[in-house]
Structure 1
């Protein structure tokens, strides 16, 4: 059921049946599609809700959907019907990976539980993308990005730094956990190459996001015999922000002892270069608010261009602050070919490319699929005849974007 192209790809020959929606699962399968896997996005007849979120040229291809569904195929099925469920099960008999974000209780009633599916396909990687681990107290409860951000402590981090209890202005939990899901699936595929067996994987959002947050913020809690607070103080400093200049802002990061010594000395502040509060990383961490506040008072006396040149000469990491709309004009992203455009039905679409480069793997950029765009193609490959496919479409068991084709 897999496409073959003249260009090799890392995951060529891998078929992923993706029954996830919104961003968590689709971002994970996007990563796998970008590596060359054939990702079959299984959608209800009305489609993934993100198809209708944001601006669009054409209904069903809205902005949020475009962001996480390139390089995939779409089949629309009503799996609540016996015939629709049979289509999905036939798909899964030949799949390498099954991804879902449905509560396990519902899947068991449909015969889509791990035990049933792996009995028919022992090599299947069964990836359950859940809100909470199945063994925990919250198992089965609904979870969305805002909920998981709150539970994992992110609004509290922002409160400690800014005084305001807020979510991060990105879909942080969905995307972070999507990354974790992708690498978990890759690890399971790698293990299968060695032992030939599939396995069940659980990727719980809550536990995954807490793990992400606590990499640096578990901090003093690592020392179990001491009752110290969580929270990495440097990152939580209210003064950790882009530094204001006379005409804008700059991101500047003196980090080593030598960086700070050069910054103070070459900017005309020899006394601060000798100040014991700032001599070592340990001392700077203890006095981080004073350090960042003093640095800000120095930086605001000159222009952004001045400090960029200064930092270049002193070999101190620094960069200007891009607005979101300026990213497409960033010289590095332009020269690296980070953005691409496709034309579809007379409309121009702009995308980000896969940021990862594999020297022996090339995957051309393809438009996200229309709802049910590949329904007939996939049913044909599963052995359904033209009359059977027409029947399934007429009975609204499956949906097809191209009702006149059976390719």
Structure 2
């Protein structure tokens, strides 16, 4: 297979040792790989569990795994053995970033806590991505997306909105925490670039989602004494939902005063009096406003509303399924999807959502088969074929 493919992107030349599993950590390192870094995924002999939990072309290549591990190189190391741990130490010598999603006690027991890794590579950027920060009493609790959605207040907000406690239809805690681990790691790399200093970074999924939820829901509860309960009324209004039309549904937000005036002038609803003329007035009775709008949207078709609202500069969109995104005209026009050849045939990945004029990222390649790069990477580190075999 030779040496790793030369990559472009703002993180080209960065090497990452990736001991993450499932989605939070792998999503972070997937983006790092797409941005040009060489991401070496360290897997146990049975592989990352995400290989097995979704639909894919083989039993070890589920779709979720294939997406969040694309472009990485897979090395199988049994870290319960001296040989596996020694191989990892050798790989750390050439790394810029070490990132893991183990609980603090588990990574320390293996001998790869920050102090251990920094003793090998003093300028390493070392990122811990946990369920709960190790500085708190819940540090040793296991965590998954569902439990963090519950604990951070998201399921309670869903209950305010719909009347029933529920999860949102996306593994949002995993993904938001993964993005947080990404920016924290890159910030530490930026500091190292300026000073030469490595450091330890910690990202807790619970703390991340508490921060995420309280952006708007902290509201009056931030002040002393509290001025309100911790919730943002517009977000949890019972009538806040896509509007039914004559033939379907539409999403629309008639928000500021300029938009409101244009809508009232064009549609002339009988209920639109001076008591609703300002954003402040509407905010105080937002659920009633949504209910009145819902009645009005029943009067026209989805296409008629889209044409009118867009002509007025009011945000409006049809409701799409995830399947429809693959044929979306806008996404296809901007080249959002990238097709990558793999041993299973072409794979159409959702691509890099950011754009750089000088150092653009791109889908780094297909996801690796379990351990396929073990011999190659250990050879690069000077450990030879024997070490590769023993490490497994």
Q: TM-score, normalised by structure 1?
A: 0.93
CA contact (8 A) 1:2 1:15 kept: no
CA contact (8 A) 2:158 2:166 kept: yes
User: Matched residues in 2 for 1:107 and 1:120: separation?
Assistant: 16
User: Matched residues in 2 for 1:388 and 1:80: separation?
Assistant: 15
2:375 aligns with: 376
1:329 aligns with: 327
User: Matched residues in 2 for 1:194 and 1:2: separation?
Assistant: 29
User: Matched residues in 1 for 2:87 and 2:144: separation?
Assistant: 29
1:128 aligns with: 128
1:402 aligns with: none
Secondary structure, counterpart of 2:326 in structure 1? helix
Shift of 1:255: 1.3
1:255 aligns with: 255
2:277 aligns with: 279
Shift of 1:360: 1.3
Q: Cα gap change, 1:362/1:293 in structure 2, threshold over 3 Å: closer, same or farther?
A: same
Q: Cα gap change, 1:2/1:284 in structure 2, threshold over 3 Å: closer, same or farther?
A: farther
Moved more, 64-73 or 178-187: 64-73
Shift of 1:262: 1.5
The residue correspondences of 1:329-348 to structure 2 (distance < 5 A) are 329-348=327-346
CA contact (8 A) 1:311 1:317 kept: yes
Report how many aligned residue pairs link the two structures.
390
The residue correspondences of 1:239-318 to structure 2 (distance < 5 A) are 239-269=239-269, 272=272, 274-276=273-275, 278-318=276-316
- After the TM superposition, list the runs of 4 or more consecutive aligned residues in structure 1 that deviate by more than 4 angstroms: none
CA contact (8 A) 1:2 1:14 kept: no
User: Matched residues in 2 for 1:73 and 1:310: separation?
Assistant: 51
Q: Cα gap change, 1:317/1:2 in structure 2, threshold over 3 Å: closer, same or farther?
A: farther
User: Matched residues in 2 for 1:127 and 1:362: separation?
Assistant: 25
User: Matched residues in 2 for 1:174 and 1:66: separation?
Assistant: 16
CA contact (8 A) 1:219 1:232 kept: yes
Secondary structure, counterpart of 2:207 in structure 1? helix
Deviations, residues 168-194 of structure 1 (Å, cap 9, x unaligned): 111010000000000000000000011
The residue correspondences of 1:3-402 to structure 2 (distance < 5 A) are 3=4, 5=6, 8-269=8-269, 272=272, 274-276=273-275, 278-365=276-363, 366-390=365-389, 392=390, 397-398=391-392
CA contact (8 A) 1:2 1:13 kept: no
Secondary structure, counterpart of 1:181 in structure 2? helix
Shift of 1:214: 0.4
Secondary structure, counterpart of 2:371 in structure 1? coil
Moved more, 169-178 or 326-335: 326-335
Deviations, residues 334-390 of structure 1 (Å, cap 9, x unaligned): 111111223323523221001111111244431011111110110101112234434
Shift of 1:135: 1.2
Q: Cα gap change, 1:98/1:152 in structure 2, threshold over 3 Å: closer, same or farther?
A: same
CA contact (8 A) 1:73 1:369 kept: yes
User: Matched residues in 2 for 1:86 and 1:13: separation?
Assistant: 24
Q: Cα gap change, 1:77/1:360 in structure 2, threshold over 3 Å: closer, same or farther?
A: same
User: Matched residues in 1 for 2:339 and 2:12: separation?
Assistant: 24
Secondary structure, counterpart of 2:200 in structure 1? strand
Secondary structure, counterpart of 1:193 in structure 2? helix
User: Matched residues in 1 for 2:164 and 2:254: separation?
Assistant: 27
CA contact (8 A) 1:100 1:127 kept: yes
CA contact (8 A) 2:375 2:384 kept: no
User: Matched residues in 1 for 2:353 and 2:233: separation?
Assistant: 31
Deviations, residues 320-340 of structure 1 (Å, cap 9, x unaligned): 111111111211111111112
**Unpaired runs of at least 5, structure 1:** 399-407
Q: Cα gap change, 1:311/1:50 in structure 2, threshold over 3 Å: closer, same or farther?
A: same
Moved more, 176-185 or 218-227: 218-227
The two structures, once aligned, show a CA RMSD in angstroms of 1.6
Secondary structure, counterpart of 1:329 in structure 2? coil
Secondary structure, counterpart of 1:201 in structure 2? strand
